Structure 1
Amino acid sequence: MSGEGDQPQAIRKLKPGTLVIASHNEGKVREIRALLGPYGIEPISAAELDLPEPEETGTTFVANAELKALYAADLSGFPALADDSGLCVDALNGDPGIFSARWGGPEKNFVLAMESVESNLAEQGPDVSRAAHFVCALALAWPDGHVEWFEGRVDGTLVWPPRGENGFGYDAMFVRDGDTQTFGEIDPDAKHAISHRADAFQQLVAAVL
């Protein structure tokens, strides 16, 4: 989907070569590298290039992904891919949502973030809905300002206490619908095939690679 203006535009293809992953989150960078591996793309992270992180002022996942991708593309001179993703909990009116990392405090401590989600749910009593979904918005930007974006989603249920050492973020408390293991328990390769990020990536691959 093009991020430019209101008029439909042709999808721009991404050529093999350097691609900046506009993230300082090592877990995200690792997943994105694995997903890009087969396509002749040479990923380098914003952290490796010492690019600063822009302030995320958008009000949606797509807006924040676009902002980060454009910033990294402009500073680096290479195409840049940004991910903005988070956990949306039905009973919390969609929170933590775009503020998912911030629920972990200044250090982005996701043990604290998971405890905060659980505490907020517990306040609503034992019968509260534990339905939740992950969203991933991917924005692919070029130095000339062109943007393509894609959004993926996976639905599931929250469990407590957290389970598993794989994954990152809220993975250890999220069980995808139809599964019994959390994203923190399943093999990373299996997660790459079924996650919200995988959903968005499949759309990106089909469109630009």
Structure 2
Amino acid sequence: MTLETALDIPDIADIHLAHARIRERIRSTPVLADPDLDETLGCQVFCKCENLQRTGAFKFRGASNAVARLGEAGVDGDVATHSSGNHGAALALAARLEGRNAHVVMPSDSSPLKIEAVRRYGGQVHFCEPTHQSRAEELERLLEGGLIAVHPYDNADIIAGQGTAALELEQEVPTLEVLMTPIGGGGLISGSAIATRAWGVSI
């Protein structure tokens, strides 16, 4: 299957559906406050501890949703992606839990710990040169063999899954006014923006 991205933009209903779909697989991570940080910044700060999520990052939310959606759509087969580590590990575990194999294209200079994590969760690692072009070419080679692409961030099901972290945070802290997230590929901030727009929070 050629590398294609799901271009449909998810909405808040998709995020609620994603949460219902994956809630038995993910961890509802704790929300912690720090009085010292509050005093320093002059406001209340609440931290959603996704470092305690399965595989160690929020990425498991999106990967779980994307793989589960393949099953709902009747799409059989193993999956493939490119990743420097976190998405690859998340997809490896999500695929394994659904009885699929995951193939992960990783740069040759990836962290040894992240390479080991992908393998520990059942993923098969395929190394490439540390360039975007090399990643894309190696992944395309795998997809030509019939694997199903699960893009790390340009995928509506990934975005909806990542948005479930913001959904949980809002449910626990309904007085939230501003949400801040890190940005890499953009999946987390996209899902968070969709979730927060539904309840009037700035991001």
Q: When the two structures are superposed, what TM-score results if normalisation uses the length of structure 1?
A: 0.26
Q: When the two structures are superposed, what TM-score results if normalisation uses the length of structure 2?
A: 0.27
Task: Name the one with the larger helix percent.
Answer: 2
Task: Name the one with the larger strand percent.
Answer: 1
